Structure 1
Amino acid sequence: MIKLEPNKDLSLCSTLACPSTAQCYFELSYKDDIPFVVASTKELGLPLLVLGGGSNLVLTPKINSVVVRNTIKGIEQLSKTDKNVTLRVGAGENWHKFVTWCVAQNYSGLENLALIPGTMGAAPVQNIGAYGVEIATLVTQVNAYDLVEEKFICIPNEECQFRYRDSLFKDHEGRYVITSVELKLNRELKPNLSYGPLKILEQNEHLTVKHIYEAVIAIRTEKLPDPKVIPNAGSFFKNPILSTAQFKGVLELFPDLVHYPAGDQVKLAAGWLIDQAGLKGRVNDQGVGCYEKQALVVVNPKRANGDAILDWAETVKQRVFEHFGVHLEMEPRIWR
């Protein structure tokens, strides 16, 4: 029977390792338990927040909510052809372990997203992406419980409102409890080698899914700290997207500006902006700062609380704006 835990310590429930306590906590292993959790939450008169791997989250010291840790597991094959396979994956499955499983099956599509921390259920919320690939291109449907309508629903890709690091689920945090995600993967290798360091793989005449997977892991390991060693939430700021007119104005002042095409707009490299603003490797009195190898990553080696993380984030945003006139936006969600 699912049990409520009062005053739950959440310090081990996020990759930033911020000290935090939830007023109430449930561990959710089966989707059929959701109505019970919802009813219990109503009785308590508290908001409900769903926690996955905690890899994209800033926890402040006291969370005055019912926190539900989603641990729903399972990988189910829905269909299979010579070219594709469609899978239904439980929201509580570890993301990287699932990617590794897909590579072992020789399924292509997710290999560029290897070593991203977190769970399957969190992936569509953030529309996770890396090295030229976004999960939005692979999701066919998200299955969830709608807390407003109080019923299980199926949301097709076109209704998920996927955007750069954004989605319907992020826009309406607290409304949906994702139970599983359905994805369509390739059984034939369809490599995406658009990201600079991966281009060298184009020379490999016998390229496999595993080659790309291993290259991505090597890149991420070199650039990003292991959260188990140095607490962090990965890329902390979104890459700013500017109109062509805005971009030209900034480029005139900074000819070396690192940028990429983004449809009819231009995407800037947030890490480069932060580095040029002089914050790479810098930390505050509480040890919170920008990683010495990648300025985009905010690290928390002394396990300071979430308020200290947010203070540093404001420092970074202010410094970049003063230097470039460009606004940065945080990727992680904030729980209070």
Structure 2
Amino acid sequence: MIQSDIDLQPFNTMTIAAQARYFCSVTSLEQLREALEFARSRQLPILPLGGGSNIVLTADFPGLALHLGMRGVEVDEAGDGVRIRAQAGENWHQLVMRTVDAGFGGLENLALIPGNIGAAPIQNIGAYGVELKDHFEQLTAMEVTTGELVTFTASECAFGYRDSLFKGKAKDRYLICEVVLRLRRDWQPRIEYPALQQHFQAHNTALDTLTPSQVAAAVIDIRNSKLPNPIEIPNTGSFFKNPVVSEAQYTAIKQRHPNVVAYAAGDGWKLAAGWLIDQAGWRGFRRDGVGVHDRQALVLVNPGHRAGQQVVDLARDIAADIQLKFGVTLEPEPRFYP
């Protein structure tokens, strides 16, 4: 059912108050097609909504806010692994824990990432050395202009670091309806990240007998120790991508800042954006109800429930300062609407 003039504050984890001219929550492909036809007939822009953890609403939305609520998970244990088919409206963390509790390994490093499954491929979510693409098989999406379903393989999705076809050439062309993942039985833990190593050392955990549940529990502990719960402090998680720089640029930064946090990334280096922001003095900063989290500088928070433009202005000020002090460009992870 199409509704008019709906407040979107409950549908975004930044708790930004903004009205959508029209709103519709769909739970089936048929309902989705009908909603898209409504938007096409009126030439309305579409705002897709899932868990609302990766958007910043900068003003009222003049089109149709479309909440994708399709639910359902199918698990097939045939062959040398496990095939998981999940609908777009399923919660990502709950899916991860479902696989972990069943003894399937692969997704445990991605525990506690906020949002729904339909949004996961758009930015190729990742954490602690693992990305969605590592276990991705295919997805099915509906073309906005025709209502037709199209299947995309991993190579067709053009996954990159926090990037995919759906943030580039196919931006706003498709709505992801279903994602298929594959987990292998010959699981090996990915625990090379220092934070995980330190956690297991502190807890005297035997690394040669690690289980997916143990790794997931470690990831959850680490994330809870430094990342605010959006229910308690409004935020979108990591606000900036970790910038990737050339070998020469990394060497120059390391000469000036020997303790820079960075990881090898192909021919270059991935810098920890949170470290850059922290070093620039922004951690814990507050300005008129918005600010930077006091335990993790990569997270912008909105405890005052302020307007989205105030969040964007703060993000731009931080990015400009990092460019000035380090010569590094920060790119936001969440998308700004409209």
Bin the TM-score by the shorter chain: over 0.9
Q: TM-score, length-normalised on structure 1?
A: 0.95
Percent identity reads: 41
Indicate which of 41, 44, 51 corresponds to 1:43: 41
Indicate which of 315, 321, 324 corresponds to 1:322: 324
Indicate which of 148, 153, 157 corresponds to 1:151: 148
Once residues 33 and 232 of structure 2 are traced to their aligned partners in structure 1, the CA distance between those partners, rounded to angstroms, is 38
Q: TM-score, length-normalised on structure 2?
A: 0.95
Could you say which residue in structure 1 is the equivalent of 2:233? 230
Alpha-carbon shift at residue 332 of structure 1 (Å) = 0.5
Segment drifting more, 254-263 vs 272-281:
254-263
Once residues 232 and 27 of structure 1 are traced to their aligned partners in structure 2, the CA distance between those partners, rounded to angstroms, is 23
Number of aligned pairs? 332
Indicate which of 176, 179, 188 corresponds to 1:178: 176
Could you say which residue in structure 1 is the equivalent of 2:300? 298
Alpha-carbon shift at residue 183 of structure 1 (Å) = 0.2
Alignment partner of 1:259 is 2:256: no
SS at match of 1:307: helix
Indicate which of 285, 303, 309 corresponds to 1:307: 309
Letter in 2 for 1:11: Q
Segment drifting more, 248-257 vs 165-174:
248-257
Indicate which of 268, 271, 286 corresponds to 2:271: 268
SS at match of 1:267: strand
Once residues 113 and 255 of structure 1 are traced to their aligned partners in structure 2, the CA distance between those partners, rounded to angstroms, is 30
Once residues 78 and 283 of structure 2 are traced to their aligned partners in structure 1, the CA distance between those partners, rounded to angstroms, is 47
Alignment partner of 1:241 is 2:240: no
Letter in 1 for 2:303: P
Alignment partner of 1:64 is 2:62: yes
Q: Is the 8 A contact 1:106 1:187 kept in 2?
A: no
- Aligned-residue Cα RMSD (Å) equals 1.4
Alpha-carbon shift at residue 102 of structure 1 (Å) = 0.7
Alpha-carbon shift at residue 206 of structure 1 (Å) = 2.6
Q: Is the 8 A contact 2:319 2:330 kept in 1?
A: yes
Q: Which runs of 4+ in 1 moved over 4 A?
A: none
Alpha-carbon shift at residue 8 of structure 1 (Å) = 1.1
Could you say which residue in structure 1 is the equivalent of 2:3? 5
Gaps of 5+ in 1: none
SS at match of 1:213: helix
Q: Is the 8 A contact 1:73 1:90 kept in 2?
A: yes
SS at match of 1:310: helix
SS at match of 1:126: coil
Indicate which of 14, 18, 34 corresponds to 2:12: 14
Q: Is the 8 A contact 1:237 1:296 kept in 2?
A: yes
Alignment partner of 1:135 is 2:132: yes
Could you say which residue in structure 2 is the equivalent of 1:187? 185
User: What does the per-residue CA deviation read over 1:225-246, in whole Å, with 9 as the maximum and x for residues that have no partner?
Assistant: 0000000111000111011122
User: What does the per-residue CA deviation read over 1:279-300, in whole Å, with 9 as the maximum and x for residues that have no partner?
Assistant: 000111x221110000000011
Once residues 293 and 133 of structure 2 are traced to their aligned partners in structure 1, the CA distance between those partners, rounded to angstroms, is 29
Once residues 255 and 188 of structure 2 are traced to their aligned partners in structure 1, the CA distance between those partners, rounded to angstroms, is 38
User: What does the per-residue CA deviation read over 1:64-104, in whole Å, with 9 as the maximum and x for residues that have no partner?
Assistant: 121110011111134522x3111110010001111111111
Indicate which of 21, 24, 40 corresponds to 1:23: 21
Once residues 165 and 286 of structure 2 are traced to their aligned partners in structure 1, the CA distance between those partners, rounded to angstroms, is 35
Could you say which residue in structure 2 is the equivalent of 1:168? 165
SS at match of 2:52: coil
User: What does the per-residue CA deviation read over 1:109-137, in whole Å, with 9 as the maximum and x for residues that have no partner?
Assistant: 11000011100000001100001100011
Indicate which of 91, 94, 98 corresponds to 2:88: 91
Question: Where does 1:277-288 land on structure 2 (aligned, <5 Å)?
Answer: 277-284=280-287, 286-288=288-290
Alpha-carbon shift at residue 48 of structure 1 (Å) = 1.6
Alpha-carbon shift at residue 196 of structure 1 (Å) = 0.9
Letter in 1 for 2:296: Q
Once residues 185 and 248 of structure 2 are traced to their aligned partners in structure 1, the CA distance between those partners, rounded to angstroms, is 42
Alignment partner of 1:122 is 2:124: no
Once residues 10 and 26 of structure 2 are traced to their aligned partners in structure 1, the CA distance between those partners, rounded to angstroms, is 17
